[in-house]
Structure 1
Amino acid sequence: MALVVQKFGGTSVADPDRMREVADHVARTRRRGDEVVLVVSAMGKETDDLLYLASQISSRPAGREMDMLITAGERKATALVTMALHELGVEAESFTGSQAGFITDTTHMNAKIVEVRPDRIRQALAEGRVPVVGGSQGVSTERNVTFFGRGGSDTTAVALAQALGGVCELYTDVSGIFTTDPRVVPEARRLARVSFDEMLEMCACGCPKPAMRAVEYARTHKVPLHVRSAFTWEPGTWIDEEDPLMEQAMVSGVVGDASEAKITLAGVPDQPGIAGRLFRSLAGRDVNVDMIVQNVSEAGRTDISFTLPKADLPAGQAVCEELAGEIGAEVVTPDDGIGRVSLVGAGMKSHPGVAATVFETLAANGINIEMISTSAIRISCIVREADLDKAVAVLHAAFGLDQTPVG
């Protein structure tokens, strides 16, 4: 008998019919002899609806009250799913995050887990009940309700699996992790397995599921993850530690991301400390910088370009324009028409020539590269947003991901 923590996202519990499907799946899992802990998100788009409602009431709502409001969505879903289990004759009990033992720091809207004390969850399991836990929530060290932020239900499930010594299954509206977005490249293949490091790189490059924070937690605590579809119930993708005895695929996936913008600060005096001032000022405005390129100095001046989330573009531009006046830089150029295409694969560490193939493939298809960033298992290129889908498709084909089973 195994212990399985099963997490269901908002689309998986969006209405009563879907909740009954989830309850039936839990009942079948129990019949095969496994213990189940259930983690659920708010129904459908309820979190968005609550955020919108708050915006109609207040222009600057307090973080404490926002956490109280948003976590109500998960509590509603846990009660309803528990009722659906009761209808099938399955003993179950709903728990808020605090009742489940999640102790967090005092940050509102993005709380971090400090400790998990799942005593009541263990008791429910010992008494033959299915614990149904509200995702993405806990109680702070100051005894206030806290919200983990977007994707926090994944983190709840991983943390419970770690604390209870179980396996974590993340059920969502996709059937696993694919070599690329099937909506862009219909030939994309589902990966049977991917390493934690590869998954973290994919998440950082724009892969929306699972939540990056949950993958980080799983890697730290060595919790195997299984990403599956809540609509087909078929086996999905396992995310686990890299097997040193297995040869890794040269490229496991291609990820496109159109959520970033670029700023170029031209004519910057090439002096020690200027870049530090720039990026410290950006950090002070909570602007998250990704890729950075500084050109070769000419006549004592250089250009600095960096990428940032499009949502941060106004703040980033304001910082650059303010600093440009102080240091005598010439031009600040914002650009929200870029896209990032990234290749990820653990096998890059032992296969030379990957970068050359990337550059040759993009050039052969008339796609210009504006910036390049690499790690041991990733290559990212900034291209024009209009070329992004084409770049993803041609690179996916160039590395045979549409033909060869991966993982």
Structure 2
Amino acid sequence: YDLSTEARLFYSRRIGDPRLAAKISGKTGGYSFGLLGALNKEEYGTSEFGVVRITKDIFKNSQIGIYYTGAGGETSTTHNLAADYSFNFKDIYYLRGAHVFSFNSQGGNDRNGLHLVQFNREPDAGLQLNLGLERIEDKVNLQAGYLDRVDFQSWHSMVGYAWRFNRGTVQRVSWDLTGTLSQDSHGQKVADQVEFMMFWNLFNRIDFHYGFFTGKNQYQLITPSGELAWNGSFLKNYGGHFDFGWERGGFLKEIDLEAGWEKRGIYNDEFTAVSPGTEFTLESSVSLRPRSNLELSAGADWISQKISSTGETVFEGLTYEASIHYQLTRELFLTTRLLGETREDQYNFDFLVGYYFGAGNIIQLSFKKSQRKEFLETEKGHSFTLKLSYLFRL
């Protein structure tokens, strides 16, 4: 979904240090299913996790599904039930949606819905359309997942046009004009925005797009009681961004570069206040393939935020990622990955050895080491994990 809200019914990092975990997934007769259960160690507040996911293929390129996630501990439990759908008509029309209800042992069962609906017309060339609604009521609690805001709803519409040439330098060009109106879940306006974007494809290898937007926003703050509430005043919001991608193939497989500047509200460290300021972002990544069985990639994302009235830099940090995948034989492979950020000196390092034995069957041995900040303390740890996946054909 193309959403302004970041929402996940299940977020695997909620399972901080599992004592036991198991997963089963499969597909049969047009049905796909997955089940997961995990028990955290007692020092983590949420100790039990459960996930059930079932989808069914229907018609042509269409699916319907149901989703359950649950999390519980000594003080509270949360159960989330969802139904979702994706219908495709004539290969260019799409109707997609999801409806989630959150049930929390510490709260009532009213105003606990999360609803997403989108209609798209997406031909490769010609008229482009997008209409959407997202609504998140104020008592939604995704304890097993992640949600960056509540008490919010947004209406958006987009119109655009695309041209396909398939010869010469320029292969495809398109433009989009999008308008968005945002409200709290009671219908009070909290934001509006208009955005224009251009997309270019050159040589079927190079993609770049740029855009400009303007509007005004309110911001959600953390109250003394720990809840989220709108700040009640609007701040101007405008800026632009540029993205460039080159899928070259060969040794230099892929390059990506993104940059953006935005006039917006800047939060303090506690997210209890917001002030007018600016944000600059720069992101880049590169993938190399020196051999057919060896791939290396690296990337970094730098963010800087300043308060306009004082010029003070309130946030500046770099996140980084590097990975190596080496296919030693057809069955045996090595993978290593490093994720980190400089501001709090946090990182996660993974090293994995895997071996395929038959179609869909794999055994993996992994080593993980991490350092992260939890509240005022820095936690360090490492673990070894043995994982066996076996495909049963029924």
Category of TM-score, reference length = shorter chain: under 0.3
Which structure carries more relative contact order (alpha carbon 8 Å, separation 6+)?
Answer: 1
TM value normalised by structure 2 = 0.25
Greater fraction of residues in helix: 1
Q: TM-score, normalised by structure 1?
A: 0.25
More strand by share: 2
